[in-house]
Amino acid sequence: MNRVCGHIAVANSKALQLTGITKETFVEGGKVDMDGKTGEPTGILRENALGIVSRLAPKPGLKQLEEVCMLATKKAVEAGLTCVHWIVESAEEIRVLRKLDSEGKLPLRVRLGVSTELHGRLDSPLLKDAKEGMVKTGFVKILADGSLGAHTAALNEYYSDKQGTRGMLLYSQRALENLVLRAHKAGFQLAIHAIGDRAVGGVLKAYEKALKIFPRADHRHRIEHCSVLNASLIKRMRRLGVIASIQPHFVVSDFWVVSRVGKKRARWVYPFRTLLRKGLVVVSGSDCPVENISPLLGIWAAATQNKPKERMTADEALASYTVTAAYASFDEDKRGSVEAGKLADFTLLSASLHSVCSNQVKKALVKMTIVDGKLVCARKALP
């Protein structure tokens, strides 16, 4: 059973037996929890240790992958999305998306996020885009640390509610820098998951080193989440031109932030307005399936649910899901706003954005979603 964040799980004794997990088991970038009295594994697995068990699970066939990919895209357009940044875990998943695209079955645009498992295939023909089509290779995704919920996000100081632990880094600094440099030199955009301030610092160091070795203008590298920050980290992000990719609904789900990091650091958790004020490009997403895929819920959370001093305006929240989101995928000349010369991708709502951001978000519904001038989703009746 996985926690909703996907960074911690529990396995039963049969699973431990099948995988050969013992008290001697060591996992780089992960942890197998041990009972303090017996020294035997408890069944609680953190970060990379989850893979020991999950790799034994039956893999879906191509037909099943097609079915779930189609279901996922259906849910996305129902939520009003015209494009998604889709993190793929396998070559088979890419093949299925390319196949569905060639058959004209995808109702929205897809920007592929290539996971670390596929790092060794950056020159694969699967990542070569056709001139026409809805699927484009977007970025390389790396996980630098875990989550606050699992106490595995890498912090500079101890967790306030779990003294003795600062979370964990999933790579050594040298290994992270090698991964970043390889993708950077190959011309890819990077999107690195870093929640804790210690992880964010390591990612910025890796970006800085890659840019020094191989200067590249307009790289648009991203940090995903960048949840726990400080003034120095924000200044470095701005200097390096790093995009802050945030998930606004975290402010609702992570109601325990103060107990996790204490009042002093809580001021620097999800500092949306500070990021904007300091001149960073801020883009928003859902982090689905960890959070609800609806961008309306994200806009509502960004504008009304964060700390008062760190809330976005309704227009800023909308822009982070549209104009600047298009910028994050190098598509600002084609998408992100409704204007002459751009692609006909847009969404019609049943209520105004003001209603969405006045705690009436649940009453705002997607009436229709248009992609490339085609109606891909329409609600037949509205309450």
- The secondary structure of 308-358 as a DSSP string is GGGPPPHHHHHHHHTHHHHHHTT-TTTSSS--TTS---EEEESS-HHHHTT
In a domain, 131, yes or no: yes
Statement to judge: residues 27 and 100 lie in one domain: no
> What pLDDT, on a 0 to 100 scale, did the predictor assign at position 381?
56
Lowest-pLDDT choice from 42-56, 206-220, 225-239: 42-56
Please say if the pLDDT value at position 321 is more than 80.
yes
List the CATH number of the domain containing 168.
3.20.20.140
371 has pLDDT over 70: yes
Q: Are residues 17 and 156 in the same domain?
A: no
DSSP assigned state of 145: B
Residue 314 lies in a domain: yes
Residue 335 contacts residue 83 (beta carbons within 8 Å): yes
Which residues does 130 contact at the CB level (< 8 Å), separation at least 6? 101, 102
Q: Are 1 and 39 in contact (CB under 8 A)?
A: no
Task: Quote the pLDDT of residue 383.
Answer: 47
Taking 80 as the threshold, does the pLDDT of residue 145 lie above it? yes
- The residues facing 194 across adjacent strands are 225
In a domain, 381, yes or no: no
**Those residues with Cβ within 8 angstroms of residue 370's Cβ, 6 or more apart along the chain or in another chain:** 82, 344, 345, 346, 347, 348, 376
**What is the per-residue pLDDT for 119?**
67
Whole-angstrom distance, CA of residue 50 vs CA of residue 6: 9
Name which residue leads in pLDDT, 232 or 51.
232
pLDDT at 169 over 80: yes
pTM of the model: 0.92
* Within-domain flag for 354: no
* φ and ψ of 227, to 5 deg: -75, -50
Same domain, 21 and 114: no
Q: What is the mean pLDDT of residues 165-183?
A: 96
**Number of structural domains found in the chain:** 2
175 with 314, same domain: the answer is: yes
Query: Cα-flanking dihedrals φ and ψ of residue 209, to 5°?
Result: -65, -40
**Position 242: which residue type?**
V
In terms of DSSP bridges, do strands 282-284 and 83-88 run parallel, antiparallel, or are they unpaired? unpaired
In this prediction, residue 39 has a pLDDT band, given cuts at 50, 70 and 90, of confident
> Is the same domain home to 276 and 248?
yes
Average pLDDT over residues 25-33: 88
Element (H, E) at 24: none
Q: Average pLDDT in the 285-313 region?
A: 94
Q: How large is the average pLDDT for residues 342-349? A: 95
115 and 143 share one domain: yes
The predicted pLDDT at position 76 comes to: 97
For 219, the enclosing helix (H) or strand (E) is none
Q: Provide the pLDDT for residue 152.
A: 95
82 in Cβ contact with 58 (< 8 Å):
no
Residue 367 maps to a domain: no
The distance from CA 179 to its chain's CA centroid, rounded to whole angstroms, is 18
- Is the confidence at residue 122, as pLDDT, over 70? no
Domain that includes residue 17, residue range? 8-54
In this structure, are 99 and 15 located in the same domain? no
DSSP 30-99: EEEEE-TTT--EEEEEEETTHHHHHTTSPPPPHHHHHHHHHHHHHHHHHTT-SEEEEEE-SHHHHHHHHH
Task: Mention every residue, 6+ apart, whose C-beta is less than 8 A from residue 9.
Answer: 1, 2, 3, 44, 45, 50, 53
- The answer to whether residue 25 scores a pLDDT higher than 90 is no
Do 80 and 144 belong to one domain?
yes
Confidence band (pLDDT; 50, 70, 90) for 60? confident
Q: Give the other-Cβ count within 10 Å of 32's Cβ.
A: 21
Within a domain: residue 206? yes
Please check whether residue 193 lies inside any domain of the structure. Answer: yes
Of the residues 16, 38, 54, the one at which a domain ends: 54
Q: What is the CA radius of gyration of the chain?
A: 21
- Same domain as 311, residue 293: yes
> Average pLDDT for residues 311-328, to the nearest whole number?
95
Query: Who wins on pLDDT, 29 or 258?
Result: 258
99 and 40 in a common domain:
no
Q: 77 and 130 share a domain?
A: yes
Cα-based angle 176, 119, 247 (whole degrees, multiple of 5): 70
- 194 & 325 share domain: yes
Average pLDDT over residues 221-238: 98
Please indicate, yes or no, if residue 108 is contained in any of the structural domains.
Answer: yes
